[in-house]
A = this chain, B = another copy of it.
Amino acid sequence: MQYAAVKDVLAGKFAVGDTVTVRGWVRTRRDSKAGISFVNLHDGSCFDAVQAVVPSELDNYSSDVLKLTTGCSVAVEGTIAESAGQGQDFELQATNVHVYGWVEDPDTYPMAPKRHSMEYLREYAHLRPRTNVAGAVTRVRHCLAQAVHRFFHEQGYYWISTPIITTSDAEGAGELFRVSTLDMMNLPRTDKGEIDYSEDFFGKEAFLTVSGQLNVEAFASALSKVYTFGPTFRAENSNTSRHLAEFWMIEPEVAFADLNDIARLAEDMLKYVFKAVLEERADDMAFFAQRIDKEAITRLQHVVDNEFVHMDYTDAIEILKNCGKTFNYPVEWGVDLQSEHERYLAEEHVGAPIILKNYPRDIKAFYMRQNDDGKTVAAMDVLAPGIGEIIGGSAREERLDVLDDRLAAMDLPFEEYSWYRDLRRYGTVPHAGFGLGFERLVAYVTGMTNIRDVIPYPRAPKSADF
């Protein structure tokens, strides 16, 4: 028996007259008065379903075929034929239909063929992959992930799996998830009455990582070009369409690179992965453009075709102050830009992705490289129309004395960073990198407005089902 994926049948990989078996799920069934049923069959290999034309002569036509409903699983054997219908070149003239699994009570099947809200689908994260929209998101997400790995591999980067559990992440401890095996009903205590974490699994307080950057810098200081692609965590209690408690991050780190080098890397990477999606997932992107966001394809094409605009933070502040627009958050040199500012710059002022550079030192992290002006750091953000910040990066402070001044000024514990300081004590090199939230990338590409709909099982406050 020759099994065929729906995508291969539709792409003409089999000759007309070939006998194949397609296995998948029923999307729709329609019966003609002439005693023929048209069963649309999908298997997730591509966006479209293939039409199986099922004649009433089959033995199980009335016992099985006429009872098929959306979601039933079947194997249909048949011969490839040219399709007379609209839209598709090939269909299947069925000679045998085998039912693997029925749908228990089709009337209450949660994925019954009608329009469901995104909120509703989120409650059925285990069944929503069967819908057009979640299937398309899954394939595009896969395509983007593959393209990211391929891009870095082709450029000579090595993938580093930085740790998920960490004991050294002291910065911003308020937003960390604790990882522990202590018996909560019977916590060990020190003499002072504090929790005795020396009894815990790792012998210390341990948390889920918020970024692999510091860890991956150690590898950039040996293998030159490296990147992470793994999950990161924020215990922020923010129930927004842009935040997840668990999300995937891509963090390249490049030895001997400066801010302009990684700005170019960010632009090259985005263009590469957008091109890959446009070429490899034209079917799904057509769906997003039709049903979700009519700019989905043109927006990506626009990014691919145009140079990113570079702009200094200081110049951006002047533009915002003089643009005649009233913002909710007032603008002046030294403030952190809000989403409304970022979107004005990217959407209205430039109309394309923009790379903002050289931010005030005091609003940025301790590890960012200080510029000679004494007040800014070599940081950059990539702002994209429609979504705002999509990438944040910087040159890293490679000078031990400058780094130490910064640690001291920010009251950060030297001991916690002793290994990080070692990288500056032994053969330090200028280096730079950036971070890209993978789900924001998928949302940007698909036009999906809620980030919870572009990850298989979203985790958010009060929500970690399945």
Contacts and interface: CB of A to CB of B under 8 A. Distances in A.
Interface of A: 3, 5, 7, 23-26, 43-45, 71-73, 75, 100-104, 109-111, 125-127, 129-130, 134-135, 138-139, 141-142, 145-146, 149, 153, 156, 158-168, 176-182, 184-185, 187, 194-195, 201-204, 206, 208, 215, 218-219, 221-225, 230-231, 233, 235, 237, 245-246, 248, 255-256, 398, 419-420, 422-430, 455-457, 459, 461-466
B142 A203 contact: no
Given A139-B158, A164-B208, 15 more contacts: A24-B224, A43-B255, A45-B156, A101-B426, A101-B427, A126-B420, A129-B223, A134-B222, A138-B158, A142-B159, A161-B231, A163-B456, A165-B245, A177-B181, A215-B466
Given A5-B156, A45-B223, A426 B466 contact: no
B160 A429 contact: no
B423 A126 contact: yes
A263 to B, nearest CB: 17
Contact of A426 (B111, B158, B185, B430): B111
A303 to B, nearest CB: 23
Given A5-B156, A45-B156, A130-B221, A100 B161 contact: no
A103 B142 contact: no
A153 B142 CA distance: 9
B109 A206 contact: no
B223 A104 contact: no
A146 B161 contact: no
> Which has the most chain B C-beta neighbours within 10 Å: A184, A215, A420?
A184
